[in-house]
Amino acid sequence: MSPLNASDLALASASASDSVSAASASSSSAMQKVTVLGATGSIGEGTFAVLRQHPERFVVHGMAAKGNVDKILPLITEFKPKRVALFDAAAAAQLRERLDSDATLAALHVDVLAGESGVVALSGDGEADIVVGAIVGAAGLPPLLAAIKTGCRICLANKEALVMSGKLFFDLAYQYHSTVVPVDSEHSAIFQCLPPSEQVCMGRCDLAGVGVREILLTGSGGPFRDCPLETLTTVTPQMAINHPVWSMGPKISVDSATMMNKALEFIEARYLFNATPEQVKVIVHPQSVIHSMVSYVDGAVLAQLGQPDMKTPIAHALVYPERITTPVSPLDFTKVSALTFKEPEYKRYPCLFMGIEASKLGQASTTALNAANEVAVAAFLAGRISFLGIAEVVEHVLSKISGSSAYELPEIMAIDNQSRSLASAFIDAK
């Protein structure tokens, strides 16, 4: 029943039995090998900040990214991974050259892989105890499925993977005894507010059975939470990526502004915690101090609070059920202003409404929603469509894709491709 794998249990018991010193608890026998997918991004950066504080505990096995050679070179120099995969083949060739032309770097003998197949080969090589899934978008799905099949622990930031394939994802996690721990701050909070019996069965929780009334999924409402609706026509990409609380990559920042991020998180929560649509309620909480809550049938509500800093949920996912230090300072309650909450306005956030409805229809619809949104956000960031145009693209694609269920990866990828073509054609015709 418990999907905790052997290395998790060894790590937990190593620390529990160690009353002598912290140093021996993290001796080389307990050293965990980590592969970071999305190494050059915002979550990747947060992951390395946590790993950097615990060199006695973690060693980096692999790094994967799209193609930013200048950003990955210093990471290679510092963390000395055995393997690096770049999606962009030309960038991978350039990286090989740069590594070979520097005696110190050449001495590391880094194995450089290229293309999607290289990223998948790295994540599925079975060498890592922990794979951090932090590639943005649908591109993160195939490498994550490959990693699950090695039975490693998955620290899951890439919510799009679950939106596309939540059912298959957890079926494979069970089949291969892979532990899945959420990194998304809201889902990390919910995870921490659930009883231990449910924490070890992500994807198969029995919420009603443990007395959960509902999950309260909080969201800041983004930068346009309070502006007059008519001013949304003038939103520029720069305005949209300036999130008031969190510092994140450009795609998720735009998703936060449209609240598509909360729609994706609603779907993510349903798969992670095996929740019905009625068991997840979205609440706007502008201060983002409470990261989400679980409401129980006896009237108790458990919440997880903290600074809006992803290093806390990243560290939690890396070492659960233990705790380790991070560079994040604790909350100073004397400096916390009033905590406020309100219902989301669907008129302001049509993407949130469409996401919740798509989730009721099934995985074909959520895959279409995700693909249409990725194309629309890229077009918005490139100045090709307006901010309000994002929801129009998503609505158009959803109207063309039937809501039947999809399960296997080829079927999911076919719907993803079809939705991208529909979205691109709609944008071209505008």
Residues near ligand NAD, by CB under 6 A = 38-44, 64-66, 68, 87, 119, 134-136, 139, 157-160, 184, 246, 248-249, 251-252, 310
Q: Closest approach of Cβ 288 to ligand NAD, in Å?
A: 11
Residue 185 or 199: which CB sits closer to Mg ion? Answer: 185
Q: Closest approach of Cβ 133 to ligand NAD, in Å?
A: 8
Residue 359: closest CA among 296, 429, 265: 265
Through-space distance between the first and last CA atoms of the chain, rounded to whole angstroms: 52
Asked if residue 87 lies in contact with residue 112, where contact means CB atoms within 8 angstroms, the answer is no
Residue 366: closest CA among 357, 374, 375: 357
Q: Which residue has the tokens 């939106």?
A: 163
Q: How many alpha carbons fall within 13 Å on the CB side of residue 2?
A: 9
From the list Mg ion, ligand NAD, none, partner contacted by residue 95 (C-beta under 5 to 8 A by kind):
none
Q: Closest approach of Cβ 221 to Mg ion, in Å?
A: 13
Token digits of residue 223: 């930068």
Residue 42 or 218: which CB sits closer to ligand NAD? Answer: 42
From the list ligand NAD, Mg ion, none, partner contacted by residue 159 (C-beta under 5 to 8 A by kind):
ligand NAD
Residue 288 or 295: which CB sits closer to ligand NAD? Answer: 288
Q: Where are the alpha helices (DSSP H) in 200-273?
A: 237-241, 250-258, 260-273
The distance between the two most distant Cα atoms of the chain, rounded to a whole number of Å, is 68
Q: Which helix (H) or strand (E) holds 277?
A: none
Q: Closest approach of Cβ 307 to ligand NAD, in Å?
A: 12
Q: How many alpha carbons fall within 13 Å on the CB side of residue 47?
A: 32
The residues in 168-197 that bind Mg ion, with binding defined as CB under 5 A, are 184-186
From the list Mg ion, ligand NAD, none, partner contacted by residue 246 (C-beta under 5 to 8 A by kind):
ligand NAD
Q: Closest approach of Cβ 251 to ligand NAD, in Å?
A: 6
From the list ligand NAD, Mg ion, none, partner contacted by residue 240 (C-beta under 5 to 8 A by kind):
none
Q: Closest approach of Cβ 330 to Mg ion, in Å?
A: 20
160 interacts with Mg ion by CB under 5 A: no
Q: Where are the alpha helices (DSSP H) in 125-216?
A: 141-148, 159-175, 185-193, 196-199
Residues near Mg ion (CB under 5 A) are 184-186
